[in-house]
């Protein structure tokens, strides 16, 4: 837990591990969305920010395009998984 960089009166568990800053729910947004970040796959700020956005039509199209079929072994059961 820490205090939001923009709202010091707010306690928050959301932390950008790259920049070592805390962001409250109102401020959840990745500061470097276009740059590679080694923390992204486990970053709550990234996922909560995307969830908050709700995704526009272009994002939804990209997600649909990125959907994959996975085969679960040893049964060979096939499932569709969303992009990301
Ligand atoms: S994905 Fe964005 S918010 Fe998350 S650690 Fe990286 S730079 Fe910070």
pLDDT tens-digit map of 15-71: 999 999 999 989 999 999 999 999 999 899 998 888 887 755 455 555 555 677 777
**pLDDT greater at residue 69 or residue 7:** 7
The verdict on the CB of residue 48 being under 6 Å from ligand 1 is no
pLDDT for 4 equals: 95
For the chain, how many structural domains are there in total? 1
pLDDT for 76 equals: 78
pLDDT for 81 equals: 75
State which residues form the domain around 50: 2-81
The sign of the CA dihedral 38, 46, 14, 31 is: positive
On whether the CB atoms of residues 63 and 84 are closer than 8 A, the answer is yes
**pLDDT greater at residue 76 or residue 29:** 29
Residue carrying structure tokens 């923009």 = 6
Mutate to test the pocket of ligand 1, among 13, 31, 34, 37 (most ligand atoms within 8 A of CB): 37
Give the Å distance between the CA of 73 and the centre of ligand 1. 34
């Amino acid at each position: 837990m820490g205090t939001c960089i923009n709202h010091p009166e707010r306690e928050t568990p959301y932390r950008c591990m790259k920049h070592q800053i805390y962001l409250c729910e109102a401020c959840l947004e990745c500061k470097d969305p276009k740059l590679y970040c080694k923390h992204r796959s486990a970053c709550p700020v990234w996922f909560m920010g995307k969830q908050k956005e709700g995704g526009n039509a272009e994002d939804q199209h990209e997600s649909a395009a990125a959907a994959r079929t996975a085969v679960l072994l040893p049964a060979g059961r096939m499932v569709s998984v969303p992009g990301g």
